[in-house]
Structure formats: C-alpha cells, structure tokens
C-alpha cells in the first residue's frame, strides 16, 4: 500500500511539479520507502511507495513500454494471475512481476470496465497521454482513500486530504452541511467530505478528467444471485474461499501479522493464517483496564488454542489523550468515538516491531449479518404481530448497549419508526439517538432534513427487502465511511502498515450475499450462524458460541478523565472567545458544564453527552491542527522533504511544465 497524488490541467499552474512534490511529502508516511514524481505538459503524477511486494520493479509512477499510459496506484489486487492470463491472451507481455503492471495493462485493454474485475483494495490514477485523460478509481468497498479538488480548471488528487495543504490557492474550511450529516449519522457518504471544495471518489466509482471537465460513473450495485446448493455445500465453500482469501493476503516480502480481537472473525483469519506450517504467526491485540471493554481473556485463549505468539498493548484514558491529536490529524474528520486512537497506538507498535502487513476480521459482520442492527430489523418487523412485552424485551437486548434509557428507546422506536418499508428503517433509531450531538452545531440541521438528504442519497435501495437495505447502509456508512477509513486505513498507514481484510475478498462476498438471510441470522439462533457452523470443528466451542461483542473504546471514561482536561480546556477557551463559528456556544458550554458536574458528583456522563463532546472536541482539534500545519514552520519542513522526491520528465518530452527543472530531485 502506498500514497498517490497529482495535478491535472489543460494548462498546469506555475510551480506544478514543486507543488506535487510537496503533496507527496505530506503523505510520505503512507510510502516511506521511496517518493517520486513524473510530469508532462498536462499532468503531474506522484507516488509514495510502501514496498511490500515486487521490489524495485514495482516503483511508481509506472508506464507501459510505449510511455503513453501511466499509473500511480495504491493498494493490492489478489486476482492478478487470473487477469494476467486473460491479458496475455490479448497479446500483452509482462516482465516486472508486480500487480501494478497488471492493473495498468488491464486499464489500457478494457478502460474503466477493468475496475470491476479487480479483486482487492486499491485507489488509482491512470493517465492516457494520447487523449490527455485521467481516470481516478477505488475498490468497491472503499478500502483505500482517494480525494480530489478542482479550482479554475486545475484538478488535484491525493490519497489524503492533508496533501492539499500544499496547494497555495486552497484553504481548508468545514462544510457545515456535511458536518451536520456527520453529527447525525456518524459518517458522510461519497462524494461528500466534511471540507468545502473537496470530494472523495466513491467506493467502486470511476471519475474521468478530460480537458478540465469531470465525469463520474457511479459503482454498480453487486447483482443478486441465489446460492443454488445446500447449506452443507455452502459451509464447505465458505471455508475454501476464506482460506484462499487469507492465503492471497498473506503474500508479502515483509512480515505479516493478524489483529486478534478475541472474537469469531479475527479468530477465523488467525486460524487460516496459522494453517501454513512454515509461518510463525504473532498476533496483536488491544487491551483495556476496564473489564467492560477488555477482551484479553478471549484473546489469550484464541492464541493459545492456535499456538500463536501474542503481544498486546494496554490502552488507558491517558494513552487516548496522548495520541488524540496525532490520530485525529490522520483520521481527517471529526470522530464520534475514541475507538480509532487505540488502533493508532497499535499500528505504532506494529511498525516498531517491523510489521508492514496486518490482517483483520473487518467486513465479516456486514457480510454475515453480525451486527445488532440486523437482528433489530427482524424484531421490529415482528412488533405488530407479537405481544408488546415480548417485543420490548427482545428489543431491549439490542438497544441496551447504546441507549440511555432502554425502556424509552424501545417505545420511542416502536412509535416513531414503525414502518419496515421506510427506506432508512434500520438506521433511523440510531440517527435519531444522535440528536444531542446534532444540536451542538451553530447551523443545525433538523432530523427531518437529515433524513430527507439520506433518503435522496440512498434512493436506489427502494424495492429491496429490509435486511438487504440495512446491509447496504452498513457497507456505505459504517464500513466505508468509518471502519475502513478513519479507524482502519488512516490509523494503520500513519505508521506505514497495510491493513488487509480477507472477508472483503470479492469471492467471499459474492458467496455471502447469495445465501439466504436466515442462514446467517435465524429467528431463534445466533448471528453469523453459517459462519460459526463452518468453523465449529476448527475453533474452540466456547469461542464459536460466544455472543457478538463489538470493539469499543472507553469513550465516557476518556471524556470524564482528568487526562482529557487540557484538550477540553483548549476547546472551552476557543468556544468562550467565539472562535468557532461552526459551534453553538450555548450548547457547547452546557455540555462542558455537564462534564464537570458529573465528575464532581462522581456520576457517569450519559453516552449521548460523551459522544457530542467527542465530536465537538475533535472538530475543534482537527481545524486547529490543519491550520497549524498550513503555517510557515510546517511548510519549511515539508519543503525540505519535497526536495528529496525524485522528479522525472516523461520521456520524449521537452520540459514545458511550469515549475519543472528536469530529472533529478525536486527543487
């Protein structure tokens, strides 16, 4: 995995190559092994390399033999051998032995339809010099990030927003409408970001830039196919496809580890990884002193049963406070929970121990219906036909983990959102539960308005059954908008660690979504039932039958801790001086007062208040830190790093690019 950046325009601005070098320098943490830029009269492509496979032959930006087709590529595809055979049948020849060469040949042969054929996690920029057209594209789940901004016919793109700090014509400002969406729904949906003038390429989307104009081709929804075989056949096929997926993702020239949460999904990944007798595996975990969040016992049991070495880091409120601002700078959007910060510390430990690849169980809950929201959809759909007391008791078990008042939540949900055919039926209770946070913005958005915007965004889900709609929303909002990005890619790549997700393999996903919902989630059985049964003979029984437990951080404990006082004091000072135009001062001061009162009374702050305070604090801190890193001191540091970037004019071209000084180092 790497970082990409570039500038595209019919007429490149003065200093374009120097600016592109600074963009690459801003994201050098994604690719610490080499940084390079190539350019011609219309395009500057940059790349920061994290060398995991392919060696020197994989250095980028890369061209084909003609020099007419170029790519800057971040990620990995895992069906390279199959694609190579297809491409060789078309007359292509390969000599570099890396997947980048295959991706480039596929784009040259099939255009943007090639993107649908890639099985992996990637973001790419492809340049066809014959037409002066540039393609930006991402994988279907959004595992790897890609942003762009356009001004006056000049388009800049990058793996991370912070690269745009190098653009002299650009200033980062919050989009208050997008902030409101984030506060209501916990994430924003592509192409939206929380910053004005910055778009993200959507998962599976293709964005073409031709003659300064942008055209977007949205991802097509995966076609639905019903699995034709028996349940026993499906279990056997699941094991085979998951094992193949893990084996593909374990291929690297650098050490590979597994993130062991103690739950079913990561344990399956660890089982398949450990099946390679020649591989000695060390698993890594996060532990908390608070037993409400800690899963150390389960983690130890899994590692012991599989014969894995095990290393864990212990995260406290002090640890979270110490890493808050650095993790947030890499997250690049406000966070409603502190959960990304322990992942940031874990990635730092992996980096220190020499690891560059980590496998995780991410994606299994979406594909195999593991989250409580799916059970909730079934229960709420049954409310009209079941006694109220029974329905309330069942729902209470689902809502107990996130509502201040379980009884109030159950009756509120039943009363406010009774129709299973509502487009957002599955998620409306969660959105409504975020009303405290949404009220803290100066230009607040009503729940009705937020709901209307979401319904417009997901209008294509009309006609699907409630479970399918719920899964699609989880994939777009929680998985792509938060888990894979803020908590996944950004925290890992802050330390040059590539996170890989075997459950998001295209073949695994195709099988999972083809199975009947009741095989995943029987009315009277546990979630992910078929996945549990498929691995029942290979994992300890108590682990297979253990109830789903999501990874959570001690948000309330952190918000109330004295370790967080300096952060909240800085926020309070800025709020009191009216320096935060996006924040509602009365609501912010009320929540700060509640925080202080809860501590004085030795009480526990309501979760809705802790969530709102985390959003406010992170929105403030991110704005301040980005402003600081736009300043003169940081710019001097970036300029020094940019000077080490290798710069090469595209062969056969006289140097006509503004700011270019020929091959060598950036100047």
Domain boundaries, the chain: 3-170+639-665, 231-328+342-362+484-544, 373-477, 555-628
Residues of the chain with pLDDT under 50: 402-404, 654-656, 661-663, 666-667
| Residue 609 to residue 616: CA distance in whole angstroms | 11
CA nearest neighbour of 520 among 339, 307, 305, 365: 365
> According to the model, what pLDDT value does residue 654 have?
44
CATH placement of domain 3-170+639-665: 3.60.20.10
CA distances from 441 to 176, 305, 619 (A): 8, 49, 11
Report the chain's C-alpha Rg in angstroms. 25
> According to the model, what pLDDT value does residue 221 have?
79
| Residue 250 to residue 247: CA distance in whole angstroms | 5
Contact predicate 398/548, CB 8 Å = no
pTM greater than 0.85: yes
Q: Right CATH number for 231-328+342-362+484-544 from 3.20.20.70, 3.30.70.100, 3.90.79.10, 3.40.50.620?
A: 3.40.50.620
Contact predicate 20/466, CB 8 Å = no
The H or E element containing residue 104 is: helix 99-110
| Residue 47 to residue 71: CA distance in whole angstroms | 9
> According to the model, what pLDDT value does residue 662 have?
47
The H or E element containing residue 585 is: helix 585-600
Q: Which phi and psi angles does 552 have, rounded to 5°?
A: -130, 150
The helix/strand/coil state of 389 is: helix
The H or E element containing residue 109 is: helix 99-110
Strand order across the beta sheet in which 498-500 lies: 309-314, 282-287, 256-259, 357-359, 498-500
CA distances from 135 to 73, 128, 209, 460 (A): 11, 9, 6, 25
Contact predicate 428/451, CB 8 Å = yes
Q: Which phi and psi angles does 130 have, rounded to 5°?
A: -65, -35
CA distances from 532 to 308, 369, 523, 543, 649 (A): 21, 12, 16, 9, 55
């Amino acid at each position: 995995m790497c970082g990409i950046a570039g500038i595209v325009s019919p007429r490149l601005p003065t200093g374009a190559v120097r600016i592109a070098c600074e963009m690459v320098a801003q994201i050098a943490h994604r690719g610490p092994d080499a940084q390079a830029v190539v350019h011609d009269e219309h395009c500057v492509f940059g790349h920061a390399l994290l060398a995991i496979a392919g060696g020197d032959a994989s250095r980028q930006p890369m061209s084909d033999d003609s020099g007419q087709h170029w790519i800057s590529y971040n990620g990995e595809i895992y069906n390279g051998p199959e694609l190579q055979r297809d491409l060789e049948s078309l007359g292509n020849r390969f000599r570099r032995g890396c997947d980048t060469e295959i991706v480039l040949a596929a784009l040259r042969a099939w255009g943007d339809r090639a993107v649908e054929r890639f099985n992996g996690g990637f973001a790419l920029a492809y340049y066809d010099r014959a037409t002066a057209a540039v393609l930006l594209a991402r994988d279907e789940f959004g595992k790897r990030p890609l942003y762009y901004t356009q001004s006056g016919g000049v388009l800049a793109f990058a793996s991370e927003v912070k690269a745009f700090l190098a653009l002299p014509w650009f200033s980062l400002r919050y989009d208050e409408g997008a902030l409101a969406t984030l506060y209501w729904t916990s994430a924003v949906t592509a192409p939206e970001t929380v910053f004005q003038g910055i778009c993200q390429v959507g998962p599976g989307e293709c964005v073409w830039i031709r003659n300064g104009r942008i055209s977007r081709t949205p991802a097509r929804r995966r076609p639905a196919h019903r699995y034709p075989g028996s349940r026993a056949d499906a279990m056997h096929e699941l094991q085979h496809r998951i094992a193949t997926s893990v084996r593909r993702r374990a291929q690297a020239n650098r050490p590979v580890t597994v993130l062991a949460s103690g739950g079913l999904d990561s344990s399956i990944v660890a089982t398949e990884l450990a099946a390679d007798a020649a591989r000695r595996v060390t698993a890594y975990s996060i532990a908390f002193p608070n037993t409400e969040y800690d899963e150390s016992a389960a983690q130890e049991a899994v590692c012991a049963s599989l014969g894995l070495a095990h290393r864990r880091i212990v995260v406290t409120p002090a640890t979270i406070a110490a890493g808050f601002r650095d993790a947030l700078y890499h997250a690049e959007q406000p966070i409603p929970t502190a959960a990304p910060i322990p992942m940031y510390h874990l990635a730092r430990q992996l980096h220190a121990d020499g690891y560059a690849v980590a496998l995780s169980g991410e994606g299994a809950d979406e594909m195999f219906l593991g989250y409580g929201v799916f059970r909730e959809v079934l229960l709420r759909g049954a409310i009209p036909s079941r006694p109220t007391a029974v329905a309330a008791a069942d729902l209470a078990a689902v809502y107990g983990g996130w509502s201040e008042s379980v009884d109030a939540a159950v009756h509120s949900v039943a009363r406010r959102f009774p129709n299973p055919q509502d487009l957002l039926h599955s998620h409306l209770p969660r959105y409504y539960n975020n009303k405290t946070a949404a009220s803290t913005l100066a230009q607040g958005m009503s729940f009705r308005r937020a709901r209307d915007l979401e319904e417009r965004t997901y209008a294509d889900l009309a006609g699907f059954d409630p479970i399918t709609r719920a899964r699609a929303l989880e994939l777009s909002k929680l998985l792509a908008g938060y888990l894979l990005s803020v908590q996944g890619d950004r925290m890992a790549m802050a330390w040059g660690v590539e996170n890989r997700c075997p459950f998001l393999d295209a073949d695994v996903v195709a099988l999972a979504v083809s199975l009947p919902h009741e095989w995943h989630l029987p009315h009277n059985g546990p979630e992910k039932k078929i996945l549990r049964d498929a691995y029942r003979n290979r994992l300890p029984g108590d682990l297979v039958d253990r109830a789903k437990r999501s990874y959570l951080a001690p948000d309330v404990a952190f918000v109330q801790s004295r370790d967080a006082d300096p952060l909240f004091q800085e926020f309070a000072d800025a709020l009191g001086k009216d320096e935060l135009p996006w924040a509602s001062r009365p609501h912010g001061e009320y929540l700060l007062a509640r925080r202080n009162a809860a501590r004085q009374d030795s009480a526990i702050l309501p979760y809705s208040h802790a969530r709102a305070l985390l959003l406010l604090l992170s929105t403030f801190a991110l704005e301040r830190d980005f402003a600081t890193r736009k300043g003169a001191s940081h710019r001097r540091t970036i300029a020094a790093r940019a000077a080490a970037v290798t710069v090469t004019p595209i062969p056969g071209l006289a140097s006509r690019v503004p700011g270019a000084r020929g091959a060598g180092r950036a100047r």
